[in-house]
Structure 1
Amino acid sequence: MKKIVTLFAALTIITFLSACGGGEENADAEEKKTIRFGATSGPYSDMVTEAIAPLLEEKGYEVTNKEFTDYVQPNKALANGDLDANLFQHKIYLESFAEEHNLDLSEVIIVPTAPMGIYSSEYKDIESVETGSTMGIPNDPTNLARALIILEDEGLVTLKEDVDPLRASLNDIVENPKEIQFVEVEAGQLPRLVDSEDLSMVPGNYALAAEMDLLSALALEDMPDDYRNRVAVKTEDLDAQFAKDIKEVVESEEFEQIIDEKFEGFGKPQWMKEEE
């Protein structure tokens, strides 16, 4: 009888522990059905709420989206666990920020991104640009390099043959046939220069914030994927089911259809072009 009582007690303990373990697993499963996104206010926050979240909700997720007004807090919030994913940055910024702040973050997938463009209230096309025209350009190295590549693509300048396209500067210009006079300002101020200067280079996010029509640009950037925004998560979550599901919905035809309808002018990443 003593052995039977002992065996019964042992089985009871095992059953209790198994039930507790199962409860923890169920709790974890439920937690993973909530995805806390973060994005900078504007088009990428809109992309989360209008394109990504609805498709994730169809998969049974509850999606929240926190808007940020700076480019520092979204990565810090992701790293400390306040967010599960964010969407606001390109590869160069993600990698440099993570290295500088010792964060372990990784990209999940590249998304369509608003390109930089050449805008003007003076000219209707690139061919009309006159000698001596003034042009607003960004004064930060990353956006300046992008601007110079666009200018070279449009035949307005020629850069050194061996220049790194991600690090081009005004010193790398070897030909400027239109003798364009460059006015360097902070990128966020460039929409204002569309009217005060002959031309202005405006990054897509700032153009949209100023309610500019991307399709009104004289030329739009053929953006390298390194400059396109991406969904990021903590590296330890790359293989988590929620990260795989984010990637799956972004790769879906439904997502691309929403982009085509609501995000006109956004440049598609290479992976999306290859599927067309």
Structure 2
Amino acid sequence: MRTTTTRTAIALATALTLALAACGTDSDPDTGDDAGSGEAQNLSLRVAASPVPHADILNFVQENLAEDAGLELTVEEFDDYVLPNTALQDGEVDANFFQHQPYLDDFNEKQGTTIVGLTDVHLEPLGLYSGSLDSIDDLGEGDTIAIPDDATNAGRALQLLAGHGLITLADGVGAEATLGDITDDGGITFNELEAATLPRVLDDVDAAVINGNYALEADLSPAEDSLALEEAEGNPYANFLAVKEGNEGDEAVAVLSDLLTSDEVRQFIEETYEGSVLPAF
């Protein structure tokens, strides 16, 4: 009886030892199997973006680069400049790609959001367009020009017009210029409208200052169709990938940042937009 009990105890002890060893093998972070599964694990990221060129660039990354980098990328398109930031702040998306630093600074201040820019990707030169005029020299007294109504792009538009001699701004006024800073309007009337609507009013005004992405969506070529266009050199309005503060070190965001500044994306921007959108890296 004692011999049988001893043998049973030994058998149970042996089985327990093997079971514990098996559990240790599965959970040990230093084993080769676990490291392999870690490397194969996909990261996921949901990004809000304007349709053109932001979503186009992201879709290029999703279709050509993301899988090999272990990134599952979902692109959500928005047609305005407010919802991509509120969606990010509220956690509906993980990042967004549509804006430049002056706009984000103004948005954060006014809305109380905590969004930070990370990676400069491209520049969309702001341009002056007309449905009826062939030259900027044809603009003058009695004409109407539509400009964006958000603070940063309005100031940017006024600087473009001042730089081409259509108006004069008060000394020292920078990107924050408003209509109240115009000291000589040259007899021109200004309509401030939501940026996304500006291409649709070209037949109702003499000219409009339109953001590059909305010009492209309207089949306007900034490089060919504009009466005046921002210079790229020294321009502070590069568009970037942005996240909510605290998520700057997110691994998936880091992977996407690297992909957005890759040689493949540079080539895609240069070949697709032919100077209407410029790489900013």
What band does the TM-score fall into relative to the shorter chain?
0.7 to 0.9
Choose the corresponding residue for 2:67, options 57, 69, 77. 57
Choose the corresponding residue for 1:268, options 259, 273, 278. 278
Distance 1:152 1:173 in 2: 9
Residue in 2 that maps onto 1:174: 183
**Per-residue deviation at 1:7?**
11
Aligned CA distance change for structure 1 residues 105 and 220 (closer, same or farther; 3 Å): same
Q: Secondary structure at the match of 2:171?
A: coil
Question: Are 1:196 and 2:204 matched, yes or no?
Answer: yes
The CA RMSD measured in Å over matched residues stands at 3.5
Choose the corresponding residue for 2:194, options 178, 186, 190. 186
2:278 maps to amino acid = K
> Structure 2 length as normaliser, TM-score?
0.77
**Per-residue deviation at 1:119?**
0.7
Deviates more, 1:21-30 or 1:97-106: 21-30
Normalized per residue, which structure has more helix?
1
Q: Secondary structure at the match of 2:65?
A: helix
Instruction: Report percent identity of matched pairs.
Output: 33
Distance 1:62 1:182 in 2: 45
Alignment of 1:1-276 (within 5 A): 13=20, 16=23, 19-20=26-27, 22=29, 32-51=42-61, 54-79=64-89, 81-98=91-108, 103-163=113-173, 165-176=174-185, 178-214=186-222, 215-222=224-231, 226-268=236-278, 271-272=280-281
Deviations 1:246-267 (A, max 9, x none): 2222222221110011123444
**Per-residue deviation at 1:201?**
1.4
Long gaps (5+) in structure 2: 1-5
Long gaps (5+) in structure 1: none
Deviates more, 1:64-73 or 1:242-251: 64-73
Q: How many residues get paired?
A: 269
Distance 2:180 2:198 in 1: 21
Residue in 1 that maps onto 2:3: none
Distance 2:14 2:235 in 1: 64
Larger Rg: 2
**Per-residue deviation at 1:151?**
0.6
Distance 1:263 1:51 in 2: 16
Contact 1:43 1:205 in 2 (8 A): yes
Distance 1:135 1:72 in 2: 24
**Per-residue deviation at 1:109?**
0.7
Deviates more, 1:254-263 or 1:5-14: 5-14
Distance 1:126 1:133 in 2: 12
Aligned CA distance change for structure 1 residues 72 and 149 (closer, same or farther; 3 Å): closer
Distance 1:7 1:81 in 2: 51
Contact 1:52 1:249 in 2 (8 A): no
Aligned CA distance change for structure 1 residues 58 and 32 (closer, same or farther; 3 Å): closer
Q: Secondary structure at the match of 2:123?
A: coil
